[in-house]
Structure 1
Amino acid sequence: MPSLGRLHLITDTRPGRHPLAVLRAALGVAGSDLVVQVRVTDEATDREAYDLAGRVLALCAPYRATCLVNDRLHVALAIGAAGGHVGAHDLPVDAARRVLGPQAVLGATAREPVTARSAVAAGASYLGVGPCHHTSTKDGLPDPIGPTGVRAVVAAVDVPVIAIGGVTVARVPALRAAGAYGVAVVGELSAAADPARVTAELLRGLS
């Protein structure tokens, strides 16, 4: 299983966003320290997800950055990604682990200690924990848990906790102080005028 980078970039495929351009900029700064989670909208076809994930993997390969596919584990297998990430409405973690195999990176979503421990027991390699703050990048999310919620999950598990949801450069220090191993970002990079500069700032906050 590859070592897990602290900065996770989740692809933003909303209209007007340019996920591959943002990825190129981030890879140029973060290199192998970057984990890329390929996430597409529910409306995207499997073929569209496959095409995007394949292009992401090709960009990651020279840098030895980790490429994961969110939700659509068959796409992760089809492109040869390092693994995948499942949310609350996707396959159960134990089923996802059976699909991906014992060596793959498998992330799972959690927001409190009980579900976090269950996900780790079922085979999660790391946890995406949040939303930490309000965010507009995904609809229907529960109330933010803040650094206090992150700290509670960190105390309950022995796998890396990746804070997600409304993560900005300014909020990284508090999340790290709460015990987060790393952070996952969407809008902070996809909406940045200079994603390379923001990547460098995020990495400094995580170091």
Structure 2
Amino acid sequence: MTRPTFDLSVYLVIGPGDCAGRRMSDVVARALAGGATLVQLRDKEASDHDMLALGEALIPLCRAARVPLIVNDRLDVALALGADGLHLGQDDDEAAAARARLGEDRILGVSAANAAELARVPLYAVDYIGVGPVFATSSKPDAGEAIGLEGVAAMRRLTDKPLVGIGGISTDRATAVIEAGANGVAVVSAIGGAEDPAQAARRLRDAVKDASTGQV
């Protein structure tokens, strides 16, 4: 089986604590209506049982919008949920082993911030690389030092895998991240914390589209 197609343009990373006191499903529904192209469920503190329940609330929303749902870190949850894929950090389960269990019909992404981290990624097994943090961020306390736009450009020179920039990215910064070589932007608070998640997603989508068109 072939892996599903996916669009990294507006990649929403979300958990219950990222929604400014609102229900996560409501925020995700509004983000999808505004043009979010990929959704990742991430909650490092939740139990597998709770992650499964959270994912079950998002699956029908993502299916209706024809947008893949990715689970962060929890391979067993991703499989039990029937999610469209998995995202692993450098400290999570090894990507090759994850691919073996996921099979060929699910998306697998891995985080890498620099050449040394990229060298540890089995590129044959993964579909995209999450690059960052591009800018300083409070959404992920263990994210590490910001790599800047220069770091994104350096990673672009090292691989032809699709790249999604993450970390401190706002609508105003999205254009520069794409111009530096990313295929899309991953955001948490830029959508989850926005007063109008649909409008925030729409503005990000338009910024990425405009920047991508300018590269052609």
Matches of 1:143 and 1:182, distance apart in 2 = 20
1:200 correspondence with 2:202: yes
Matches of 1:173 and 1:180, distance apart in 2 = 10
Using CA pairs under 8 Å that are at least 6 residues apart, name the structure with larger relative contact order, 1 or 2: 2
Cα contact 2:34–2:197 (8 A) shared by 1: no
Q: 1:92 to 1:122 in 2, by over 3 A?
A: farther
Following TM superposition, by how much is the alpha carbon of 1:17 offset from its aligned partner in structure 2, in angstroms? Answer: 4.8
Matches of 2:22 and 2:141, distance apart in 1 = 17
1:88 correspondence with 2:97: no
**What secondary structure is seen at the aligned counterpart in 1 of 2:17?**
coil
Q: 1:40 aligns with which of 34, 38, 43?
A: 43
Deviates more, 1:120-129 or 1:160-169: 120-129
After superposition, residues 43-192 of structure 1 pair within 5 angstroms as 44-121=46-123, 123-192=125-194
**What secondary structure is seen at the aligned counterpart in 1 of 2:134?**
coil
Residue of structure 2 in register with 1:12 after alignment: 15
- State how many pairs are aligned: 204
Runs of at least 5 residues in structure 1 that lack an aligned partner in the other structure: none
**What secondary structure is seen at the aligned counterpart in 2 of 1:155?**
helix
1:59-110 residue CA offsets vs partner (Å, 9 max, x unmatched) = 1111111111000011111111111000111101111111211221000000
Deviates more, 1:158-167 or 1:13-22: 13-22
Matches of 2:70 and 2:29, distance apart in 1 = 16
TM-score by length of 2: 0.90
**What secondary structure is seen at the aligned counterpart in 2 of 1:116?**
helix
**What secondary structure is seen at the aligned counterpart in 2 of 1:41?**
coil
Residue of structure 2 in register with 1:22 after alignment: 27
Runs of at least 5 residues in structure 2 that lack an aligned partner in the other structure: 210-216
Q: Which amino acid aligns with 2:23?
A: H
Cα contact 1:17–1:190 (8 A) shared by 2: no
Following TM superposition, by how much is the alpha carbon of 1:122 offset from its aligned partner in structure 2, in angstroms? Answer: 5.0
Q: Which amino acid aligns with 2:40?
A: Q
Matches of 2:60 and 2:152, distance apart in 1 = 33
Q: Which amino acid aligns with 2:38?
A: V
Matches of 2:142 and 2:63, distance apart in 1 = 34
**What secondary structure is seen at the aligned counterpart in 1 of 2:39?**
strand
Following TM superposition, by how much is the alpha carbon of 1:45 offset from its aligned partner in structure 2, in angstroms? Answer: 1.1
**What secondary structure is seen at the aligned counterpart in 2 of 1:14?**
helix
Cα contact 1:120–1:157 (8 A) shared by 2: no
Matches of 1:146 and 1:17, distance apart in 2 = 31
Matches of 2:200 and 2:194, distance apart in 1 = 7
Matches of 2:203 and 2:52, distance apart in 1 = 31
Cα contact 2:14–2:41 (8 A) shared by 1: yes
TM-score by length of 1: 0.93
Cα contact 1:117–1:156 (8 A) shared by 2: no
1:7-66 residue CA offsets vs partner (Å, 9 max, x unmatched) = 110113227353211111111121xx6110011132x11111001111111111111111
Q: Which runs of 4+ in 1 moved over 3 A?
A: none
